[in-house]
């Protein structure tokens, strides 16, 4: 069935179809463009935020680890300095003990017992015994008042035992 329409009727139908389909289609296309642009921006912002949040966690963890390592290094340095001071003090105490031992040869038997407990060193015991046995004034020195010397040596022994 073929109908003959006038040019005006055809133009009216075209105008009606354009107003019914084309104008709303263009409007929907423009709205979809803006909606897509907005959704893209929101998605990009969320992606950036997620990425920065992850990097911030990693950075924070690394910073905490670096701080802990720095504190450990500082603590180790302090402990090393304390150990150095303790070693110097122990060295000074050992030198004082040797000087006290050499000055107190008259109480060698008692002092040898203390040295044996403190040092556990056979070599040191043998050296002290050899020096005492070769000392001609050793027996004469044992005859001096022993009570004062024993008291002094016991105080020295207690001080050395505490260290």
pLDDT digits over 98-134, tens only? 777 667 655 666 655 665 565 566 676 677 667 766 7
pLDDT-derived band of residue 137, with 50, 70 and 90 as boundaries?
low
Domain assignments of the chain as residue spans, ordered by start: 9-89, 104-163
If you average pLDDT over every residue of the chain, what do you get?
80
pLDDT for residue 94: 82
pTM of this structure: 0.32
Give me the mean pLDDT over the 17-45 stretch: 90
- How far apart CA 131 and CA 22 sit, in angstroms, is 122
pLDDT value at 143 more than 80: no
Q: What is the pLDDT of residues 49-86, one digit of tens each?
A: 998 998 888 889 989 998 888 898 888 888 888 888 88
Task: Give the DSSP letter string of 40-87.
Answer: HHHHHHHHHHHHHHHHHHHHHHHHHHHHHHHHHHHHHHHHHHHHHHHH
Sequence length of the chain is 163
> Residue 145's pLDDT is what?
60
């Amino acid at each position: 069935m073929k109908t003959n329409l006038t040019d005006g009727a055809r133009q009216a139908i075209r105008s009606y179809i354009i107003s019914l389909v084309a104008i709303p289609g263009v409007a929907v296309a423009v709205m979809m463009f803006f909606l897509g642009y907005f959704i893209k921006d929101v998605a990009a912002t969320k992606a950036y935020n997620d990425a920065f949040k992850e990097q911030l966690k990693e950075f924070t963890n690394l910073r905490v680890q670096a701080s802990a390592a720095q504190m450990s290094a500082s603590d180790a340095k302090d402990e090393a300095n304390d150990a150095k001071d303790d070693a110097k003090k122990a060295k000074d105490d050992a030198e004082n003990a040797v000087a006290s031992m050499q000055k107190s040869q008259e109480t060698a038997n008692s002092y040898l017992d203390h040295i044996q407990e403190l040092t556990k060193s056979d070599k040191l015991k043998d050296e002290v015994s050899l020096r005492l046995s070769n000392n001609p004034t050793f027996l004469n020195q044992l005859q001096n008042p022993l009570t004062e010397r024993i008291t002094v040596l016991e105080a020295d022994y207690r001080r050395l035992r505490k260290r």
